[in-house]
Amino acid sequence: MNNHAGISYSQGAKKALEELVNYLKNSREGKSPVVELRPMAELAADLNLAQQIREGGLNDENIQEFLHKYLDHSMHMHHPRYMGHQVAVPHPASAIADMVHGLICNAMSIYEMGPVAATIEREVVQWMLEKVGWQVEGGGLFTDGGSLANIHAMLAARAALDPHAWTKGVRQDMVVLAPENSHYSVARAVSIIGLGHESIVPIPTDRFEVVIPDTLPDLIHQQRDQGKAIMAIVANACATSTGLYDPIDEIADICQEHHCWFHIDSPHGATALLSEKYRPLLKGIEKADSVIWDAHKMMQTSSLSTALLFKNKEHYYQTLSQKASYLIHEKENPGYDVLPYQIECTKAAIAAKLFFVLAAVGEKGMGDFIENLYNNSRTFATMINNRQGFESNIPVESNIILFRYQPDKINQLTLREKLIKTGSFYITSTEVKGVRYLRLVIMQESSTAEHIEALLDKITEVAEGLN
Ligand SMILES: Cc1ncc(COP(=O)(O)O)c(C=O)c1O
């Protein structure tokens, strides 16, 4: 039996592409709602999911109709009024890379299963190492997301401190010093590798939740006096909630002086390395031991595509030492297998997405992109501050802007909820030192001052309905 029944690549993909092209045009022109959030059960019924799963029937004739509904009810990332989470708005070149992998499926963990994808990963990693400043001695790989990269980085730090942990189990005297506002994946990583949440020691931060480096030496001494071994010190570049960078250079010096592994959690902010103007935000990055850098945040690729980079390639080689003899064996290999050094077994061509975008825009184009977003965000914050009833008193360093509207009268969470329900904007919200803010993440150059003016108008209008 032909299990492709009714759907062909030539016709099905052509129809799908037509629909996607329309979707992209409408999204970019802001013709559709950014998102229309409907209850899950309603969506499942409308898309006829249960029946299709059981009976099949998707074919060259009806795929376009199905996709139309699918896309209609999805989040429209290319909409200029999407200002939500730190998820990249994919560049067409990244979407084409996904399309290629979607068909050829070269699972490139071992060279022979994906020679081109594996070669691309090597080249892209080398380029990223060079940007960090680790061209010669460094090593790294691509992995499925920043959360997994943080787990891997913590494993590397653990292996550096206690190489026996892999075979003998985990000592319970290890601690990790991390900012109070570090991403939840750091705490998860520490638990996953066997240390437990309580082994995270919060590093004090200032009123904007930026690490106060002067507090670190005392914290290190306190921990060591209590018999603790410091497995790693973590910094944000930038923090998820505020978009502010911790003082990397000062923290790095303290880590070096006290012989502590320094991990920079920079899936969002590392792309500033490509901008001459904003690279100083990462001053000292080359003194770290490990760095994570998501392409699917600020480098215009679809998710997921994360680089995990080590200053010392020995850490990259030695962290995971398990053997899979059917895959890892002595062989004449014309290329390089990444499998022994990564957590995944099967891995998609995730670096290829970044390669395709870079191949289209070049590193200068990517640098200009981030610089524009960071510049625009500063302008937008000033606009917000100049509007009656709005305040944006958290500095802007990246493309994240926090603000409040009439905080004495209005619950900011309710305001956000009502705003999103209108379908006209998608924004997020966060807390800084216990205070609730509305949060914009400016992810595309097509989000302009005009859209910000419209946003402020809309918020004012929605708020009137709440009074
Ligand atoms: C600072 C930081 N670390 C880690 C992560 C997790 O990355 P990912 O979403 O790629 O798993 C995020 C995501 O927002 C982040 O902001």
CA-closest candidate to residue 301, choices 92, 154, 80, 49: 92
425 in a structural domain: no
Are the beta carbons of 345 and 339 closer than 8 angstroms? yes
Q: Are residues 17 and 139 in the same domain?
A: no
pTM of the model: 0.96
Distance 457 CA to ligand 1 centre (A): 31
275 in a structural domain: yes
CA-to-CA dists, residue 434 to 183, 389, 431, 437, angstroms? 16, 21, 5, 10
Q: Are residues 48 and 109 in the same domain?
A: no
Distance 300 CA to ligand 1 centre (A): 15
341 in a structural domain: yes
Q: How many CB atoms lie within 10 A of CB 284?
A: 20
| Residue type, position 349, single letter | A
Distance 239 CA to ligand 1 centre (A): 9
Cα 421 to Cα 412: distance, rounded to the nearest angstrom: 14
Q: Are residues 44 and 111 in the same domain?
A: no
185 in a structural domain: yes
154 in a structural domain: yes
Q: Are residues 32 and 138 in the same domain?
A: no
Residue nearest to atom 16 of ligand 1 (CA): 240
Q: Are residues 113 and 60 in the same domain?
A: no
What is residue 1's predicted lDDT score, i.e. its pLDDT? Answer: 42
Q: How many domains does the chain have?
A: 2
Look at residue 11 and give its three-state secondary structure.
helix
According to DSSP, the β-strands at 139-143 and 174-179 are unpaired
- Tokens encoding 37: 């959030």
Are the beta carbons of 200 and 424 closer than 8 angstroms? no
Q: Are residues 130 and 274 in the same domain?
A: yes
Q: Are residues 114 and 69 in the same domain?
A: no
Q: Are residues 334 and 221 in the same domain?
A: yes
**Has residue 321 got a pLDDT over 80?**
no
Cα 338 to Cα 347: distance, rounded to the nearest angstrom: 10
Last-in-domain residue among 61, 76, 91: 76
Residue nearest to atom 2 of ligand 1 (CA): 183
Distance 49 CA to ligand 1 centre (A): 31
Domain ranges, residue 52? 9-76
Minimum mean pLDDT among 74-88, 173-187, 333-347: which range? 333-347
Cα 156 to Cα 159: distance, rounded to the nearest angstrom: 5
Residue nearest to atom 9 of ligand 1 (CA): 146
Which residue of 182, 294, 354, 441 sits with most ligand 1 atoms within 8 Å of its CB, as the best mutation to test the pocket? Answer: 294
409 in a structural domain: no
Residue nearest to atom 3 of ligand 1 (CA): 183
Cα 298 to Cα 238: distance, rounded to the nearest angstrom: 12
CA-closest candidate to residue 353, choices 117, 16, 115, 18: 117
Which residue of 147, 238, 353, 443 sits with most ligand 1 atoms within 8 Å of its CB, as the best mutation to test the pocket? Answer: 147
Are the beta carbons of 205 and 180 closer than 8 angstroms? yes
Which residue of 188, 209, 268, 271 sits with most ligand 1 atoms within 8 Å of its CB, as the best mutation to test the pocket? Answer: 268
Q: Which atom of ligand 1 is nearest to the CA of 294?
A: 10
Distance 302 CA to ligand 1 centre (A): 14
| Residue type, position 447, single letter | S
What is residue 330's predicted lDDT score, i.e. its pLDDT? Answer: 66
Cα 146 to Cα 292: distance, rounded to the nearest angstrom: 7
The residues that bridge with 293 in the sheet, in sequence order, are 307
User: What CATH number is attached to the domain comprising 249?
Assistant: 3.40.640.10
Q: Which atom of ligand 1 is nearest to the CA of 150?
A: 4
What are the φ and ψ backbone dihedral angles of 2, each rounded to 5 degrees? -85, 110
What are the φ and ψ backbone dihedral angles of 259, each rounded to 5 degrees? 55, 50
Are the beta carbons of 223 and 175 closer than 8 angstroms? yes
Last-in-domain residue among 357, 391, 426: 357
Distance 183 CA to ligand 1 centre (A): 6
Contacts of 159 (CB under 8 A, 6+ apart): 165, 166, 315, 318, 319
Q: Are residues 221 and 287 in the same domain?
A: yes
| Residue type, position 212, single letter | I
Are the beta carbons of 110 and 339 closer than 8 angstroms? yes
Q: Higher pLDDT residue, 403 or 1?
A: 403
Cα 455 to Cα 367: distance, rounded to the nearest angstrom: 27
Distance 174 CA to ligand 1 centre (A): 24
- Tokens encoding 90: 């994919």
Distance 27 CA to ligand 1 centre (A): 26
- Give mean pLDDT, residues 353-378: 98
What is the biggest distance separating any 2 CA atoms in the chain, rounded to whole angstroms? 73
3-state helix, strand, coil in the chain (%, to 5): 50, 15, 40
Q: Which atom of ligand 1 is nearest to the CA of 86?
A: 14
pLDDT (tens digit, 9 = 90+) per residue, 34-54? 999 999 999 999 999 999 999
Which residue of 240, 241, 301, 353 sits with most ligand 1 atoms within 8 Å of its CB, as the best mutation to test the pocket? Answer: 240
> Model confidence at 329, in pLDDT bands (50, 70, 90)?
low
Distance 147 CA to ligand 1 centre (A): 6
Q: Are residues 33 and 149 in the same domain?
A: no
Q: Are residues 201 and 121 in the same domain?
A: yes
pLDDT (tens digit, 9 = 90+) per residue, 111-148? 999 999 999 999 999 999 999 999 889 999 999 999 99
Distance 146 CA to ligand 1 centre (A): 5
Cα 129 to Cα 126: distance, rounded to the nearest angstrom: 5
CA-to-CA dists, residue 148 to 35, 145, 156, 267, 372, angstroms? 28, 6, 12, 11, 29
Distance 258 CA to ligand 1 centre (A): 27
Q: Which residues line ligand 1 (CB under 6 A)?
A: 86, 145-147, 150, 183, 185, 236, 240, 265, 267-268, 294, 306
Residue nearest to atom 14 of ligand 1 (CA): 240
What is residue 421's predicted lDDT score, i.e. its pLDDT? Answer: 95
- Give mean pLDDT, residues 152-156: 98
User: Could you identify the residue written with the tokens 């992109």?
Assistant: 369
What is the rounded average pLDDT for all residues in the chain?
95
User: Could you identify the residue written with the tokens 């502010």?
Assistant: 244
pLDDT (tens digit, 9 = 90+) per residue, 186-208? 999 999 999 999 999 999 999 99
Look at residue 146 and give its three-state secondary structure.
helix
Residue nearest to atom 8 of ligand 1 (CA): 146
The residues that bridge with 174 in the sheet, in sequence order, are 229
Are the beta carbons of 294 and 269 closer than 8 angstroms? no
CA-closest candidate to residue 146, choices 176, 183, 97: 183
pLDDT (tens digit, 9 = 90+) per residue, 196-242? 999 999 999 999 999 999 999 999 999 999 999 999 999 999 999 99
411 in a structural domain: no
Last-in-domain residue among 76, 109, 128: 76
379 in a structural domain: no
> What is the chain's alpha carbon radius of gyration, rounded to the nearest angstrom?
24
| Residue 130: exposure state from Cβ atoms within 10 A (0-12, 13-18, ≥19) | middle
Q: Are residues 63 and 212 in the same domain?
A: no
